[in-house]
A and B are shown apart, each in its own frame.
Chain A
Amino acid sequence: MTGFVGALVEAWDELRIHKLRVLLALIGVAVAVAAITGVTAAVQMLSQAYQEQFDRDMGRQVTVAVDAWAQGEQSAPPAALATEYARVLERYDITWASRDLATQVPFRFPDGTRPTEVRAVDPDLGTMQRIQVVEGRWFDDADVDALAPLLVVNRAFLDRLGASDLSEPLTVQLGDVTPVRSRVVGLVEDRWRGAPPEAYVLYDQLTRWYTPDAAAGFYQPAPTLKMWVPPEIVDDLTPRLRSEIGAAVPGWEVGTYDNRSTGGAALDGATRWVALGVGAFALLLGGLGLVNIALVTVRYRIREIGIRRSFGATSGRVFVGVLLESVVATVVAGLVGVVLAVAAVKAIPADVMFGGLQDRPPFPVSAALIGMACATGVGALAGILPATVAVRVKVIDAIRY
């Protein structure tokens, strides 16, 4: 151990003495490590961005959805379905769940009453689908008992109301025949440019305050029940849900689906490898430069190696010494590269580049480790050749006048 530490100290001393040569040799390595680390980190952030976008569209992994369709006049009443939904959630101890009904509800805008896209949901959906409220707030559990319906609307909805923000209390009449004054509590961005006005409302509040004419009778709409569950229970859970709910509400067709097949970060595959490949190639070039300079340096230092040998340095020690010089140098370069990469990635306006990251991942440790491992590996590889040359130095020739 002491010998190894001694060799490390010796290697560092050599590097200190040959600052310029080391600097020149290592700039390439540092840049390559910065590239490989930065790309790895950026790819992870991009993956996170894709994942979050996916979560917004499809729900987090794994979201199981239960749909039910009434099959005829003799179907059980929708209330039975609601009761059964509540029962299965309790029975299977499901923490995150939300009903989700996409429907149209009339709102009285300044330019007249217009049917508007509404999603009737439970508060959990905000977390389950990463709904980003840019102003105001999302629903909480207490909102179910509010005396007036609360709304979270998109910007197009706000525009149609003639408002620009939520700094002033904002209300809108919901319904046509017996409208109720509803209050806007939150604002989300439009899902795409030119999106129509849309609003989220709590399912229980919507059903309390508004009964659409078409809701009665055959083919009445029923909410989808969405559950965010651990992946390992999905295969077991879905058939049970189908059979239990189907049995509890006769006359309803019950179907389930989950979002596993559409999940996964798009950048985990080929793109990531291509990016890493480019970084590795850059590192290889940096490493070749290092080998080149190290070889020249060893030839230049043949006399010194001979002197060291004459004073008792073993060939093993000379080999390790030269090898460690290379490794220590590239590790230092690697550190510089990783620091550069961290600085660069931190400086990236991720929100702008990656489209609104909700959970901005910290600089990935794995990226830093990959960078350091690459640097060390290149140092070792680049050091083997000059170290071998150094060992083959004939002491007598090296110290000959």
Chain B
Amino acid sequence: MTVLDLLGAAEEVHDRAPVVELRGVTRQFPGDPPVHALHPTDLTVRAGEYLSVVGPSGSGKSTLLHLLGLLDSPTDGEYLLDGRPTSGAGERERAALRATRIGFVFQAFHLLPHRTVLENVLLATVYSGVPRAERRERAVAALERVGLAHRLDFLPTVLSGGERQRTAVARAVVARPAVLLADEPTGNLDSASSESVLALFDELHAEGLTLLVITHDDEVSARAQRRVRIADGRLQEIA
């Protein structure tokens, strides 16, 4: 099984609107003076692209990730997710979009420690409207895809860092999102585990998944098909 099977939309990938499109998006935080975390920004990510956003601490990476993940709203501009404007969306609609169109991978994995690997992956199916009868099958398939079929009933606390992050990736893709947002996915991993996760990303990308990886690490960034640098809240495409 490929991730495109999980996504269930392989043949439509190239004809669709951009998965992510920022049009003049800004984010300011109130203060004296106000903090311009993100200056007016345009960004387009098409289906199947593997984009990395690289930048140092305080450059606005997290702000960008929160906006892209619909965890925060822009001060100005429009964010279209899968061609749909999101600025007017209410809390419920944004939650539904997060559940169905976005998969998150966090630096600290953010797995629920008291739940098994399988239950952690099932969590994402609960909110995304996957029929109850299909949930387990899809969660197991996602875990097989990331090479953790033998760890279904393990608690995350007994897994290695790399295994935890792969569990997180399985959780992120199980609901067939339009885009996978990864925030410093190798930040807590040793080099071997980092490599295994990045190799997994390569494979997922090869299978057609849209990936957007935010990192401060140039080596991680270099694995992406397309790279964008962020500094002082401004985005700049790297040739």
State the A residues within 8 Å of B (CB): 2, 6, 10, 17-18, 303-304, 306-317, 395-396, 399, 401
Contact = CB atoms under 8 A, between A and B. Distances in A.
Nearest to A10: B126
A315 B112 CA distance: 19
B92 A312 contact: no
Interface in B70-110: 71-72, 91-92, 95-96, 98-100, 104, 106-108, 110
Contacts of B99: 311-313
Contacts of A18: 114
A396 B123 contact: no
Interface in B163-195: 171, 175, 187
A312 B100 contact: yes
B91 A315 contact: yes
Given A313-B95, A401-B187, 5 more contacts: A17-B115, A311-B98, A311-B99, A312-B100, A315-B91
Contacts of B123: 307-308, 311
A136 B69 CA distance: 86
A395 B183 CA distance: 15
Given A307-B110, A308-B127, A314 B95 contact: yes
B143 interface: no
Contacts, number: 63
Interface in B55-81: 66, 69, 71-72
Contacts of A308: 123, 127
B128 interface: yes
Contacts of B112: 304, 307
Contact of B96 (A303, A306, A309, A312): A312
B81 to A, nearest CB: 13
Interface string B110-153: 10101100000001101110001000000000000000000000
A311 B127 contact: yes
Contact of A314 (B91, B124, B175): B91
A325 to B, nearest CB: 14
A304, A306, A311, A396: residue with the most chain B Cβ atoms closer than 10 Å: A311
A18 B115 CA distance: 11
A201 to B, nearest CB: 76
Contact of A313 (B107, B127, B175): B127
Contacts of A10: 126
Q: Interface on chain A toward B: helix, strand, loop, or mixed SS?
A: helix
Closest CB pairs A-B (n = 4)? A312-B99, A312-B127, A314-B95, A17-B114
29 contacts: A2-B132, A6-B132, A10-B126, A17-B114, A18-B114, A303-B110, A304-B112, A306-B110, A307-B110, A307-B123, A308-B127, A310-B71, A310-B104, A311-B123, A312-B96, A312-B99, A312-B124, A312-B128, A313-B99, A314-B91, A314-B92, A314-B96, A316-B92, A395-B71, A396-B71, A399-B71, A399-B106, A401-B107, A401-B187
A312 B95 contact: yes
A306 B108 CA distance: 13
Contacts of B91: 314-315
Nearest to A394: B71
B72 A396 contact: yes
Contacts of B115: 17
Contacts of B96: 312, 314
Nearest to B112: A304
A399 B126 CA distance: 19
Given A304-B112, A395-B71, A311 B104 contact: yes
A316 B90 CA distance: 13
A280 to B, nearest CB: 34
A313 to B, nearest CB: 5
B66 A396 contact: yes
B182 to A, nearest CB: 13
Contacts of A303: 110
B161 to A, nearest CB: 14
A315 B114 CA distance: 22
A284 to B, nearest CB: 31
Nearest to B125: A311
A10 B122 CA distance: 12
B202 to A, nearest CB: 24
A316 B93 CA distance: 12
B71 A6 contact: no
A401 B108 contact: yes
Nearest to A2: B132
A314 B127 CA distance: 9
A309 B97 CA distance: 11
Contacts of A309: 71, 95, 98
A2, A310, A317: residue with the most chain B Cβ atoms closer than 10 Å: A310
A396 B73 CA distance: 12
Nearest to B111: A307
Contacts of B95: 309, 312-315
A29 to B, nearest CB: 23
Contacts of A6: 126, 132
Contacts of A312: 95-96, 98-100, 124, 127-128, 175
A6 B135 CA distance: 13
Contacts of B72: 396
Contacts of B107: 401
A320 B21 CA distance: 34
Contact of B98 (A304, A310, A317, A396): A310
Contacts of A395: 71
B109 to A, nearest CB: 10
A309 B71 CA distance: 9
Contacts of B71: 309-310, 395-396, 399
